[in-house]
Amino acid sequence: MSSDLKGRQKGRFLHSFTFAISGIFHALRNERNMKIHSVVTIIVIILAWIYHLSAIEWMFISFAICGVLALELVNTAVERVVDLVTKEFHPLAKQAKDVAAGAVLLYAILSVVIGCIIFLPKMF
């Protein structure tokens, strides 16, 4: 492979990170639920620092946090695509949005359970 081709591929690869980061910041600026999840994330990280979580506990908290944020981004993407396809009410469009929101809700509930398992014994 020529060095020019490698350079272009590396440039495209690095450029894809720019798109991803732009999407994350767009959601943080414009999506109410993403803002809520981010505030909760900051609170959880502060608590984790205060209570000196173990490496395993940090791992579970990290999966919980990143899972909720990632699913919220996917939910936002599904909402945008559905809105792009149709502005009119359609039962399938509603179902797509509701199912994506349901995925976020399930993972958020799991994350709260994980947080309770980790933090409640430390607090009481």
Task: Provide the annotated active-site residues.
Answer: 72
- The one-letter code for the residue type at 58 is W
Residue with tokens 């936002």: 76
Q: Are 60 and 118 in contact (CB under 8 A)?
A: yes
Specify whether the CB–CB gap between 46 and 89 falls below 8 A. no
